[in-house]
Amino acid sequence: MNKDIPVISLQRLPVYLNYLKGLPEQEKFVSSKSIADALDMGEVLVRKDLAFTSAVGKPRVGYVTRELIEALEDYLCCNGKRCAVLVGVGALGRAVLSYGGFANYGIEIEGAFDSDPAKAGVEVAGRKICGMQDMADEIKRLGAELAIICVPASRAQEVADALCDCGIKAVLNFAPVLIKVKNGVVVRHIDVAANLAVLSSMI
Amino acid sequence: MNKDIPVISLQRLPVYLNYLKGLPEQEKFVSSKSIADALDMGEVLVRKDLAFTSAVGKPRVGYVTRELIEALEDYLCCNGKRCAVLVGVGALGRAVLSYGGFANYGIEIEGAFDSDPAKAGVEVAGRKICGMQDMADEIKRLGAELAIICVPASRAQEVADALCDCGIKAVLNFAPVLIKVKNGVVVRHIDVAANLAVLSSMI
* A178 at interface of B, judged by CB pairs closer than 8 A: yes
Q: What is the pLDDT of residue B3?
A: 59
* B34 at interface of A, judged by CB pairs closer than 8 A: no
Contact between residue B200 and residue A77 where contact means Cβ atoms under 8 Å apart: yes
* Number of CB atoms found within 10 A of residue A199's CB: 26
**Residue pLDDT, tens place only, A38-65:** 988 999 999 999 999 999 988 888 999 9
* A169 at interface of B, judged by CB pairs closer than 8 A: yes
Angle at B86 between CA B85 and CA B92, to 5 degrees: 155
Cβ within 8 Å, pair B92-A99: yes
Query: Percent of chain B at pLDDT above 70?
Result: 99
Q: Tell me how far apart the alpha carbons of residues B105 and B24 are, in angstroms, rounded to a whole number.
A: 21
Cβ within 8 Å, pair B75-A198: no
**CB-facing half-sphere around the CA of A8: CA atoms within 13 A:** 4
Partners of B107 on chain A (C-beta within 8 Å) are 193, 196-197, 200
Cβ within 8 Å, pair B104-A195: no
**Residue pLDDT, tens place only, B18-62:** 999 989 989 999 999 999 999 889 999 999 999 999 999 888 889
Residue B36's identity, in one-letter code, is A
For strands A63-64 and A29-30, give the pairing: antiparallel
Residue A155 pLDDT > 80: yes
Q: How confident is the model at residue B1 (pLDDT cuts 50, 70, 90)?
A: very low
- What is the distance between the terminal CA atoms of chain B, rounded to a whole angstrom? 40
Cβ within 8 Å, pair B107-A78: no
Q: What is the pLDDT of residue B101?
A: 87
| CA distance readout (Å), B145 to A6, B134, B157, B180, B182 | 35, 16, 18, 17, 14
Dihedral, CA atoms, B99, B100, B105, B110, nearest 10 degrees? Answer: 80
Which residues 99-128 on chain A approach chain B with CB closer than 8 angstroms?
99, 101-102, 104-107
Q: What is the pLDDT of residue A1?
A: 47
Residue A99's identity, in one-letter code, is Y
Cβ within 8 Å, pair B145-A169: no
pTM: predicted TM-score of the whole model, two decimal places: 0.88
Partners of B190 on chain A (C-beta within 8 Å) are 190, 192, 195
**Residue pLDDT, tens place only, A8-34:** 899 999 999 999 998 998 999 999 999
**Residue pLDDT, tens place only, B128-180:** 999 999 999 999 999 999 999 999 989 999 999 999 999 999 999 999 888 99
ipTM, 2 dp: 0.90
**Residue pLDDT, tens place only, A90-135:** 999 999 999 888 999 999 999 999 999 999 999 999 999 999 999 9
Closest C-alpha to A35, from A8, A11, A74, A68: A68
Q: Tell me how far apart the alpha carbons of residues B162 and B174 are, in angstroms, rounded to a whole number.
A: 16
| CA distance readout (Å), B128 to A114, B82, B97, B137 | 29, 19, 11, 15
